Amino acid sequence: MTVYTAPLEDIRFTLRHIGGLDSLAELPGLEHLDTETVDLVLEEAARFARSELAPLDPVGDREGAVLVDGEVRTAPGFKEAYARFVEGGWNGLVFPEEWGGQNLPWLLNTAVAEMWNAANMTFELCPLLTQAAVEALLHHGTEDQKRIYLRRLVSGEWTGAMCLTEPQAGSDVGALRTRAERDGEIYRIRGQKIFITFGEHDMAENIVHLVLARLPGAPEGTKGISLFLVPKFLPDGNGRPGRRNDMRCIKLEEKLGIHASPTCVIAYGEEEGAVGWLVGEENAGMRCMFTMMNNARISVGIEGLGIAERAFRRALAYARERIQGRRDGRPVPILAHPDVRRMLLTMRAYTAAMRALCYLATAEVDRAARDADGERRRAAAGRVALLTPLVKAWCTDRACEITSLAVQVHGGAGFIEETGVAQHYRDVRITPIYEGTNGIQALDLAGRKLTIENGRLPWDLFAELRTELGALTRAGLSDLAGSLAPALSTLERATREMQARGAEQRAAAATPYLQLFGQVLGGFLLARGARAAGRDPAGAAWPGLARFYATQLLPPALALADPAYGDLAALDASLLPPAG
């Protein structure tokens, strides 16, 4: 089993040349961002990931979280590691100093989160949701809610949970049945939520649930949903945890992977009703919740990136050590076999493209929040909207492919739990499901992002990619430009066709279209890194990776263009076996 070592050289290169980290220091509020600060954060995060989190990953997989008398006990070592995580100030990296944060960019937080996920995704799930809860309160909370909760959530002293799903209402959130009734200055919440990640645990002294519920007389569907802040312990007059709220964990799900992450069934209001406070306006809960969810969707893409990186490194180490077969009469490691190198280069190229996409998106998050120019903020927000479904869906689908290849490189040993690589394969499988399945992400891209702002969002990006082609040629990379130009033309043609079609046809073609979009954009981002490698030796591998991607991985993806046109007739339900 390999020790996790963060790929800091790759991370720094991508931060600088894809994310544009240096230019972020010019944004208002980030004047304190300098190379020394960035390096210190990265090196300390790498150390914490290696020494604290990675050793707990197999422990959490074996031991898991357990429910005892309504209380969840996390796997051995998790509670202690989380205390050190809070002590290090890691949870507040990006949040305002006013609330105890360090006011650093989301781009840098993305690099740190990649390391947490690579070392121990189940641990990172807790701060991921806490950060999303902080975002919701920063944007929609009352002044009293911010005063009582924000500082403790920013520090990680208290944690957050996102509570949407119900047994009868999965992705169809509008079908939820949890009720809220006003009782003076508070609301009484009654109902049940399932699949609540870290909804109950022993790592923090309080857990703040953000719960979707329906008020009496509210409109049907999502237009009648409100959001409520429901803490495990009700704060006393000093803001400390007081008496236990009327809510409890009644079950932990038994899952394919992420065993150390408690996935809870939570019952609210079995007695007097769980006490909650309205966040935002009545019947506007979905707008508030989407502040959390969009943050979490990008974070799930970063989960896929982290596990993909870890799986690749394990496969590479095994390929260098495992002796099998002969060359010129001498035993050789399996790395000597061309097909093994093909698998490893596929993993490496995809991981680099995923990192580039995640870092590009979160750099735009920073620009959308901080740029002094209103038009540039608007453009950056549009770019975030366009890239979010790609980050979430394309990256997590590639992560499943990469972890599967890691098992394949290990051969029979990969199917044995002892090697550890099977855990990555199991753990990452949740990521295409989390925070709206990847099919929903594809519908968001094809059904909404192609139509808002008069359909201009993809075309603004395509114009930049056209400019990139010329820059590649001037940099002596005309072969890459020659491979990418027809790919971009194919994506443009598919986009025009998609924008001209009706909603049902776009829905039928949404998933192949998203995969085509992600595949082409990934190739351009690798080419951008290849161009930067001419002035930064840390990117020495990028030109070769970009060529491998452009010649081996991109051509098959272009065949997705035809399914992307949405042939409804081909999706004939009568071709399926009859019921029973």
Residues 172-202: tens digit of each pLDDT: 787 899 999 999 999 999 999 999 999 999 9
CB atoms within 10 A of CB 378: 13
What is the predicted pLDDT for the residue at 169?
Answer: 80
Tell me the three state secondary structure of residue 127. Answer: helix
Query: How far, in Å, CA of 85 to CA of 108, rounded?
Result: 17
Q: Which residue has 């050789």 as its token pair?
A: 332
Residues 376-402: tens digit of each pLDDT: 999 999 999 999 999 999 999 999 999
327 forms beta bridges with 330
**Could you tell me which of 19, 25, 253 has the C-alpha nearest to residue 114?**
19
What is the predicted pLDDT for the residue at 289?
Answer: 83
The mean of the pLDDT values for the chain is 95
Asked whether the predicted pLDDT for residue 105 surpasses 90, the reply is yes
Please list, in sequence order, all residues whose beta carbon lies within 8 angstroms of the beta carbon of residue 78, skipping any fewer than 6 positions away: 56, 60, 123, 203, 260
Query: How far, in Å, CA of 355 to CA of 368, rounded?
Result: 20
Query: In whole angstroms, what separates CA 465 from the centre of its chain?
Result: 24
What is the predicted pLDDT for the residue at 1?
Answer: 55
Q: Which residue has 């430009």 as its token pair?
A: 481
Burial class (CB in 10 A: 0-12, 13-18, 19+), 160: buried
User: Which band of pLDDT confidence, cut at 50, 70 and 90, is reported for residue 550?
Assistant: very high
Tell me the three state secondary structure of residue 349. Answer: helix
Residues 55-82: tens digit of each pLDDT: 999 999 999 999 998 899 999 999 999 9
214 forms beta bridges with 179, 225
Residues 305-335: tens digit of each pLDDT: 999 999 999 999 999 999 999 998 999 999 9
Query: How far, in Å, CA of 430 to CA of 258, rounded?
Result: 8
Asked whether the predicted pLDDT for residue 579 surpasses 60, the reply is yes
Q: What is the DSSP string of 316-341?
A: HHHHHH-EEEEETTEEEEGGGSHHHH
Query: How far, in Å, CA of 67 to CA of 193, rounded?
Result: 17
Query: In whole angstroms, what separates CA 354 from the centre of its chain?
Result: 11
Residues 211-248: tens digit of each pLDDT: 999 999 999 998 999 999 999 999 998 889 999 999 99
Residues 413-472: tens digit of each pLDDT: 999 999 999 999 999 999 999 999 999 999 999 999 999 999 999 999 999 999 999 999
What is the predicted pLDDT for the residue at 2?
Answer: 66
What are the two backbone dihedrals, phi and then psi, of residue 208, each rounded to the nearest 5 degrees? -100, 110
Tell me the three state secondary structure of residue 173. Answer: helix
Asked whether the predicted pLDDT for residue 23 surpasses 80, the reply is yes
Asked whether the predicted pLDDT for residue 171 surpasses 80, the reply is no
Residues 208 and 202 sit within 8 Å (Cβ to Cβ): no
Asked whether the predicted pLDDT for residue 298 surpasses 60, the reply is yes
Query: How far, in Å, CA of 194 to CA of 208, rounded?
Result: 16
Catalytic residue IDs: 435
Please list, in sequence order, all residues whose beta carbon lies within 8 angstroms of the beta carbon of residue 87, skipping any fewer than 6 positions away: none
Residues 128-147: tens digit of each pLDDT: 999 999 999 999 999 999 99
Query: How far, in Å, CA of 111 to CA of 98, rounded?
Result: 24
E strand or H helix at 500: helix 478-500
